[in-house]
Structure 1
Amino acid sequence: MKKKAVPSMVKDQQLVKKRREQMVKGAVRLFIEKGFHRTTTREIAKESGFSIGTLYEYIGSKEDVLYLVCDAIYEEVRDQLVSQLDTEAVGIDRVKKAIAAYFRVIDHLQDEVLVMYQEAKSLPKEALMYVLQKEVEMTKMFEDIIRDYVAEYRIDLSEEEIKLMSHNILVQGHMWTFRRWAIRRFYTLEEYTKLQSEQLLSPLTTVSN
């Protein structure tokens, strides 16, 4: 699926990239505080450090800002996850370390992730589908790790079960953000990660043991 083309009157792509990064940072702060619908483009411009006229040189609408925010957050989650994956780990330890890395990234970007899931529904359909495709790609990262383990240790796990396990890993990572008001009363991140890993991976560890 092609990336959405956000209109810009500025031809200098380096400047476009710089201004949009400023815009995303400013918008995230406002969306966390006020939400997308209650935030105005004038407020986004001010928070980003330039005028409303300058803002519209780099976007066509407020929905463009939301798209840039969601796209940037997904990219940041993916990049941080990739950088934290332990490429030297093997066996079930590799799977557990991948889950732990993902949960740490979600914890680090919890406000951004919460904003993204709360506000993405306001995107136009085509832009929303592109953003959601990023989540499919992230799920596939876990599918590949689990699939490698299943193949190496000849575990009887179907492709459907591998896919569902991968989706569940992402969902439980999100839960650390979405239900933090309740969960953090009982668990540290390390405790939560350990318990979730044991439950999520029980079909693998039960068979392999």
Structure 2
Amino acid sequence: MDEAPEGPGGCEDAIGGAPAVTAPSRPRAQWRRRQIIDAATSVMEREGFHRTSMAAVAEAAGISVGLIYQYVENKEDLLQLVLLDVLEDFRAALPAATEGVEDPIERLDRVFDAYCTVIDRRYRALVLAYRETRTLAPQGRKLVMDAERGKLVPFVTAIEDAAARGTMEVEDPTLLAYTLVMSAHAWALKHWFLSERASLDEYRRHQLGLVLRATLTPAAREHYRYLL
């Protein structure tokens, strides 16, 4: 087990701005942080939050318990670290997917593709989020919920722009955006079943096609038939 402290000072990667005991160099800190997050996700998914111990996470990560406390203060902080890490993946991937794309339907296609790709890569952590977010303290839940709302923005913006251009007929862009988001979540929540019936791309195209067939105007259906 790695018992040695990783450097002097306060760790910049600690949760909620709380100073940690020591701080490694940034590249090493990022690598160690990823190691801890992956181990915590695996153990919490298998055991549940309440049965998970810091010792079990440390063993899964191949480090000492003391080293984990350089990054978090307690087990709830560790759960929050895992959940916010998943949401950070979405925050980084979604804007990048639509950068420079003017057509709103193309943007919707690309942002949904990026969203599903993150879901597929992090589906175990997403299942954990569904199961354990309620465990967080109110402040932690608010952080997660605010980040969740932020994920909707590129979906809603694309749908609103399409409606303004007359290519989609939508009563509530936010509800439609959430319909797409929840269909992506189903890939994680029912991964054992859906992954046996379709590839990720097949599933994504099927779900987006359902939404577009229900909302595109007749002229737009012809123009975007390659997405249907």
> Shorter-chain TM-score: what band?
0.7 to 0.9
The unaligned stretches of length 5 or more in structure 2 are: 1-14, 222-228
Q: Write out per-residue CA displacement over residues 117-166 of structure 1, whole angstroms, 9 at most, x where no aligned residue.
A: 222221112101111111100011211111122223375534xx101001
After superposition, the Cα gap between the structure-2 partners of 1:108 and 1:84, relative to the gap in structure 1 and judged at 3 Å, is: farther
Between 68-77 and 143-152, report the one with greater CA deviation.
Answer: 143-152
Given candidates 217, 220, 223, the residue that maps to 1:206 is 217
Given candidates 139, 149, 153, the residue that maps to 2:166 is 153
After superposition, the Cα gap between the structure-2 partners of 1:90 and 1:184, relative to the gap in structure 1 and judged at 3 Å, is: same
Aligned to 2:54: 41
Please tell me whether residue 62 in structure 1 is matched to residue 47 in structure 2: no
Given candidates 102, 105, 108, the residue that maps to 2:118 is 105
Distance in 1 separating the partners of 2:55 and 2:195: 36
Q: Offset at 1:109?
A: 1.8
Alignment check: 8 A CA contact 1:85 1:101 kept: no
More RCO (CA 8 Å, sep 6+): 1
Between 199-208 and 104-113, report the one with greater CA deviation.
Answer: 199-208
Q: Write out per-residue CA displacement over residues 174-196 of structure 1, whole angstroms, 9 at most, x where no aligned residue.
A: 01111223333433322222221
Aligned to 1:10: 22
**One-letter amino acid of the structure 1 residue matched with residue 20 of structure 2:** S
Distance in 1 separating the partners of 2:63 and 2:197: 44
Distance in 2 separating the partners of 1:187 and 1:57: 42
Between 45-54 and 3-12, report the one with greater CA deviation.
Answer: 3-12
Please tell me whether residue 163 in structure 1 is matched to residue 189 in structure 2: no
Q: TM-score, normalised by structure 1?
A: 0.83
Between 117-126 and 75-84, report the one with greater CA deviation.
Answer: 75-84
The unaligned stretches of length 5 or more in structure 1 are: none
Aligned to 1:117: 130
Q: Offset at 1:42?
A: 1.1
Q: Offset at 1:69?
A: 0.7
Alignment check: 8 A CA contact 1:19 1:58 kept: no
After superposition, the Cα gap between the structure-2 partners of 1:155 and 1:50, relative to the gap in structure 1 and judged at 3 Å, is: closer
Alignment check: 8 A CA contact 2:116 2:204 kept: yes
Aligned to 1:52: 65
Distance in 1 separating the partners of 2:146 and 2:24: 28
Distance in 1 separating the partners of 2:117 and 2:72: 33
Alignment check: 8 A CA contact 2:54 2:65 kept: yes
Aligned CA RMSD, in angstroms, stands at: 2.6
Aligned to 1:181: 192
After superposition, the Cα gap between the structure-2 partners of 1:91 and 1:44, relative to the gap in structure 1 and judged at 3 Å, is: closer
Identity across the alignment (%): 25
Q: Offset at 1:94?
A: 2.7
